[in-house]
């Protein structure tokens, strides 16, 4: 049965985002003297939560967030939390109706995501260029499967919920390769599409303990790339082969996808937070 994809009206979405400024005063534990813990407004931390939710190219488009950015600058929060939940495989608005993505509807959504790399780049650049440099930005991933996983790796401060997954970003690479007429052109087209994903993920490439992060992007973008990791204390070395002690992706027909537990254990993410309160505790 064919069902149209649910879309949140732009006006409603902008209102929800603009109303997300939040104070940590509510986090004071029972029995703790508010005078000692959050004595004045200056002692509190203001957090602005920006949902990035839905389908890339329909729900997640740069124009929706232009007014949100202006409101953030007016509100002047200490921390902006980008709450990412997007999947090319399910309707994130309602898990009870996953059949919405079967057949032609699923193919249509996946095709749209393949074309959205420039729009995702524009969105990430907008958050970097138009928000004050001293305003802390944090990404909190609830799911980033498919095209949106490039955004999922595009912030330096990166946390996940316990059930979140991230990966399978290579639809644009596969589509570009498929449009080529011969093997030489296929390689060039695929590499050009891959570089588009690299430009987005480069915004999150700021961890000195992660010198081989490019290997992770390779495996998440190109199905023929395997991925294994060798841990050295809290540092790790990744490679696109299966020779290191922990093999994360041995499948040469599907791009790599990781769970929140894997990302936490291997220091790919900064931690796992089930709620906004948990996230604030991790942020200190």
pLDDT recorded at residue 225: 92
Q: Which residues contact 79 (CB under 8 A, 6 or more apart)?
A: 45, 46, 47, 48, 135, 136, 137, 138, 283
Q: What angle do CA 197, 158, 96 make, to 5 degrees?
A: 85
pLDDT means per 10 residues, the chain with 284 residues, are 30 36 41 40 80 87 92 95 90 56 47 68 94 95 93 95 93 74 75 86 78 88 92 84 92 90 91 96 92
Q: What is the pLDDT of residue 211?
A: 67
State the pTM of this model: 0.79
CB 209 within 8 A of CB 217: no
Predicted local confidence at residue 190, as pLDDT: 75
* Segments in the chain forming alpha helices (H): 10-18, 34-37, 66-75, 103-114, 117-130, 149-152, 171-178, 183-201, 213-221, 260-265, 276-283
User: What is the distance between the alpha carbons of residues 268 and 160, in angstroms, rounded to a whole number?
Assistant: 10
pLDDT value of position 9: 33
Report d(CA 193, CA 60) in Å as an integer. Answer: 20
Phi then psi for residue 154, to 5 deg, are -110, 15
């Amino acid at each position: 049965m064919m069902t149209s994809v649910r879309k949140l009206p732009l006006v409603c979405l902008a209102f929800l985002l603009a109303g997300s400024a939040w104070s940590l005063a509510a986090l004071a534990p029972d029995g703790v003297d508010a005078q000692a813990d959050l004595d004045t407004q200056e002692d509190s931390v203001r957090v602005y939560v920006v949902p990035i939710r839905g389908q890339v190219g329909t729900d997640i488009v740069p124009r929706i967030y232009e007014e949100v950015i202006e409101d953030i600058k007016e509100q002047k929060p200490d921390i902006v939390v980008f709450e990412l939940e997007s999947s090319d495989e399910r309707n994130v608005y309602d898990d009870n109706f996953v059949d919405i993505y079967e057949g032609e509807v699923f193919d249509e959504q996946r095709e749209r995501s393949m074309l959205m790399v420039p729009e995702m780049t524009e969105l990430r650049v907008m958050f970097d260029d138009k928000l004050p440099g001293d305003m802390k930005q944090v990404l909190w991933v609830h799911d980033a499967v498919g095209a949106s996983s490039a955004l999922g790796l595009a912030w330096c401060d990166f946390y996940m919920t316990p059930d979140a997954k991230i990966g399978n970003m290579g639809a644009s690479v596969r589509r570009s390769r498929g449009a080529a007429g011969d093997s030489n052109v296929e390689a060039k087209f695929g590499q050009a599409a891959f570089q588009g994903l690299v430009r987005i993920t480069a915004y999150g490439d700021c961890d000195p303990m992660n010198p081989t992060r490019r290997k992770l992007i390779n495996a998440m973008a190109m199905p023929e790339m395997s991925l294994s990791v060798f841990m050295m204390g809290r540092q790790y070395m990744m490679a696109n082969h299966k020779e290191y002690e922990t093999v994360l992706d041995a499948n040469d027909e599907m791009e790599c996808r990781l769970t929140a537990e894997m990302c936490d254990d291997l220091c790919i993410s900064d931690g796992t937070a089930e709620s906004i309160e948990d996230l604030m505790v991790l942020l200190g």
